[in-house]
């Protein structure tokens, strides 16, 4: 766990892939427990860590947590009103037809199987999902079947925050994320063998008490991302 910023109201950190962003049952570590332990080690008597947004367990990246209930309420309101800017790096299998584009779909979540899918507009319980992407770089690698395959690094900005949104919207266009075994079950790629290549690298919001815009970013440490010279 890497701390990027801390003050009396917030703590911004880099969540490692494989660690839950909120309290999780069982023996595995989660970010709330780790941050509470970190605060206690510094001498805080009764620390508070408020979860205001989430990342999938398999996704690493920049997150902000509130250190008091007032800040949690302010940040949660910003999230609900889409005032928080989130940008991701993702590696997709293939090459998008356009160098940049905005996609708007309707997603339906299947809570029982923990998946979502693109459905026609008007489908009961579906939610609008919007993102923009920009191609940064493409490389060719020999996949596990010995065939050459394109991989493309894209920058993605989420304009809505839906369940598995980036993974679903790209997979629905035959551009599954490298390493995504949930939405690309016939995975035969070389990149992403050690994990999903999706990383939340940029976070921008208004500081809950200082009332000014703050931004934080970090570069993914996964080896596959380092195959791209632009990072």
- What's the pLDDT tens digit per position in 164-182? 999 999 999 999 999 998 8
Is residue 227's pLDDT more than 70? yes
Q: What is the model's pLDDT at position 134? A: 98
| Of the candidates 15, 69, 35, the residue with the CA atom closest to the CA atom of residue 216 | 15
Q: What is the model's pLDDT at position 148? A: 87
- What's the pLDDT tens digit per position in 10-65? 999 999 999 999 877 666 789 999 999 999 998 888 899 999 999 989 999 999 99
Q: Which of 67-71, 138-142, 154-158 has the lowest average pLDDT?
A: 138-142
Whether 56 is catalytic is: yes
Residues 230 and 137: beta-carbon distance below 8 Å: yes
- CATH number (domain holding residue 96): 3.30.2350.10
pTM of the model: 0.91
Catalytic residue among 56, 105, 180, 224: 56
Which residue is associated with the tokens 């940029």? Answer: 202
Average pLDDT, rounded, for the chain: 92
The count of structural domains within the chain is 1
What is the distance between the alpha carbons of residues 158 and 6, in angstroms, rounded to a whole number? 25
What is the distance between the alpha carbons of residues 46 and 133, in angstroms, rounded to a whole number? 42
Is residue 185's pLDDT more than 80? no
Range of the domain at 185: 2-227
Is residue 188's pLDDT more than 70? no
């Amino acid at each position: 766990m890497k701390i990027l910023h801390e003050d009396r109201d917030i703590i911004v950190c880099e969540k490692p892939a494989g660690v839950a962003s909120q309290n999780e049952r069982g023996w595995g570590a989660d970010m709330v427990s780790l941050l509470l332990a970190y605060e206690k080690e510094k001498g805080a008597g009764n620390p508070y860590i408020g979860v205001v947004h989430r990342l999938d367990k398999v996704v690493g990246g920049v997150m902000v947590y509130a250190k008091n209930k007032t800040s949690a309420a302010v940040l949660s309101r910003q999230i609900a009103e889409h005032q928080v800017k989130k940008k991701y790096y993702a590696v997709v299998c293939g090459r998008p037809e356009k160098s940049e584009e905005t996609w708007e779909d309707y997603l339906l979540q299947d809570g029982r199987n923990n998946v979502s899918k693109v459905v026609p507009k008007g489908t009961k319980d579906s939610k609008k999902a919007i993102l923009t992407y920009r191609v940064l770089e493409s490389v060719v690698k020999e996949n596990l079947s010995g065939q050459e395959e394109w991989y493309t690094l894209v920058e993605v900005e989420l304009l809505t925050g839906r369940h598995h949104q980036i993974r679903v919207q790209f997979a629905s266009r035959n551009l599954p994320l490298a390493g995504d075994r949930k939405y690309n079950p016939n995975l035969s790629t070389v990149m992403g063998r050690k994990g999903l290549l999706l990383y939340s690298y940029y976070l921008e919001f208004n500081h809950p008490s200082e009332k000014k815009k703050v931004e934080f970013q970090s570069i993914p440490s996964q080896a596959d991302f380092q195959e791209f010279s632009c990072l």
